[in-house]
């Protein structure tokens, strides 16, 4: 089983780290409403066979939206979706919406299930990701809640991103709980601090493997002007090598393996995802703008260059 490689999110149209004019051959600020406009997702799917959806963390997509995603991508393409923040970040949810996060229940689970059903019916649903904050500790109430969440989504491949060291300090208990529901412990590469989780990069279930690369920008991890600054990091080929080897080895012991790059600032995640594919011996499909290769010259000669398309606008 080969590793499916993609990025976390595909649409970053604003900010200093926007993808427009770098990965997408359209200038920043281009119109999204013009008839026949450039389709980011379709272009992205020419290069990768999977993507991790970040937008579902900020709002549950409608079934109509996910159905359009399925229609705009080729057969065999897979979407992994991050669970809505109400499930994993109740304080953030309350601050953003003013709603009571304690009202979480079966209604919310059913809403998310309806949202992903078009992808499941199209055979394009990869995994779900429950990403918990670094403040989520391995203690009684939290373990009870985690068990409830694992049960609520047990019919889907569910990866759980735990960040606090208390979970790796109790490896047997953590892996036993996840294993009971067939959930994968998300393997994460990010700056490590005193209370950061420690990981082996090994699979914990036989069904699937899930790895995320956040970058190693320790200096701006907790203190930054904009949230995108945290992900302003480009892995070197040498830094990627042990990660690629771990993912490749893990893929031989599971039915499916996913690797997503989340260092999205200025499409650095795209550059690193392409390098990872090359290191895995996978073809580098699609064409890349010349501006992209100029910015990431390590890919020169490895990827095909896209002819200029000055009339493109966004959709």
Give the Cα separation of 183 and 189 in Å (integer): 19
Radius of gyration of the chain (CA): 19
**Contact of 129 with 80, CB cutoff 8 Å:** yes
Average pLDDT, whole number, for the chain?
Answer: 94
Q: What is the pLDDT of residues 261-278, one digit of tens each?
A: 999 999 999 999 999 999
Tracing tokens 């970058």 back to the chain, one arrives at 215
35 pLDDT higher than 70: no
Which fold would CATH assign to domain 4-305? Answer: TIM Barrel (3.20.20)
**Contact of 276 with 270, CB cutoff 8 Å:** no
pLDDT band at residue 133 using 50, 70 and 90 as cut-offs:
very high
177 pLDDT higher than 70: yes
Identify the pLDDT of residue 101. Answer: 85
pLDDT band at residue 30 using 50, 70 and 90 as cut-offs:
low
Q: What is the mean pLDDT of residues 249-254?
A: 97
Top pLDDT among 103 and 240 is at 240
CA distances from 129 to 85, 149, 237, 260, 310 (A): 11, 11, 27, 12, 37
Give the Cα separation of 213 and 8 in Å (integer): 9
Give the Cα separation of 218 and 230 in Å (integer): 8
- Among the residue ranges 195-209, 224-238, 241-255, 299-313, the one predicted with the least confidence is 299-313
Q: What is the mean pLDDT of residues 20-45?
A: 81
Top pLDDT among 157 and 2 is at 157
pLDDT band at residue 282 using 50, 70 and 90 as cut-offs:
very high
67 pLDDT higher than 60: yes
Give the Cα separation of 79 and 100 in Å (integer): 29
Identify the pLDDT of residue 141. Answer: 94
For 103, residues 6+ apart whose C-beta sits below 8 A from its C-beta are none
Identify the pLDDT of residue 183. Answer: 98
**Contact of 7 with 273, CB cutoff 8 Å:** yes
Q: Is 281 exposed, middle or buried (0-12, 13-18, 19+ CB in 10 A)?
A: exposed
Identify the pLDDT of residue 89. Answer: 96
**SS in 3 state form for 183-198?**
CEECEEECCCCCCECC
Q: What is the pLDDT of residues 93-104, one digit of tens each?
A: 998 999 888 889
- Among the residue ranges 16-25, 98-107, 151-160, the one predicted with the least confidence is 98-107
Identify the pLDDT of residue 8. Answer: 98
Q: What is the mean pLDDT of residues 53-77?
A: 98
- What angle is formed at CA 299 by the lines to CA 295 and CA 300, rounded to 5 degrees? 85
Percentages (nearest 5) of helix, strand, coil residues in the chain? 40, 15, 45
- What angle is formed at CA 270 by the lines to CA 264 and CA 274, rounded to 5 degrees? 150
3 pLDDT higher than 80: yes
310 pLDDT higher than 90: no
pLDDT band at residue 172 using 50, 70 and 90 as cut-offs:
very high
Per cent of the chain over pLDDT 90 is: 90
Identify the pLDDT of residue 26. Answer: 86
Domain borders along the chain are: 4-305
């Amino acid at each position: 089983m080969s590793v499916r490689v993609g990025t976390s999110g595909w649409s970053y149209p604003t900010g200093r780290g926007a993808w427009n004019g770098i990965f997408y051959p359209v200038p920043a600020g281009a119109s999204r409403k013009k008839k026949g406009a450039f389709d980011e997702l379709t272009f992205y799917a020419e290069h990768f066979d999977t993507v991790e959806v970040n937008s579902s963390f900020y709002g549950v997509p409608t079934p109509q939206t996910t159905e359009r995603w399925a229609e705009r991508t080729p057969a065999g393409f897979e979407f992994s979706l991050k669970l809505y923040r109400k499930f994993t970040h109740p304080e953030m949810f309350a601050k953003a919406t003013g709603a009571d996060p304690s009202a979480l229940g079966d209604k919310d689970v059913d809403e998310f299930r309806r949202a992903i059903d078009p992808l499941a019916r199209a055979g394009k649903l990869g995994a779900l990701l429950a990403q918990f904050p670094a403040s989520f500790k391995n203690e009684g109430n939290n373990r009870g809640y985690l068990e409830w969440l694992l049960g609520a989504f047990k019919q889907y491949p569910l990866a759980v991103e735990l960040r606090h060291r208390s979970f790796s300090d109790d490896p047997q208990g953590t892996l036993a709980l996840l294993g009971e529901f067939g959930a994968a412990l998300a393997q994460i590469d990010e700056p490590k601090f005193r209370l950061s989780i420690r990981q082996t990069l090994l699979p914990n279930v036989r069904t699937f493997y899930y790895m995320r690369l956040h970058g190693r920008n320790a200096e701006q991890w907790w203190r930054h002007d904009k949230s995108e600054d945290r992900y302003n990091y480009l892995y070197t080929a040498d830094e990627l090598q042990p990660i690629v080897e771990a993912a490749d080895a893990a893929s031989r012991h599971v039915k499916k393996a996913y690797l997503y790059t989340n260092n999205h600032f200025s499409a650095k995640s795209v550059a690193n995802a392409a390098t990872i594919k090359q290191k895995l011996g996978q073809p580098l499909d699609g064409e890349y703008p010349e501006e992209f290769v100029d910015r990431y010259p390590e890919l020169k000669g490895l990827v095909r260059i896209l002819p200029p398309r000055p009339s493109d606008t966004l959709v």
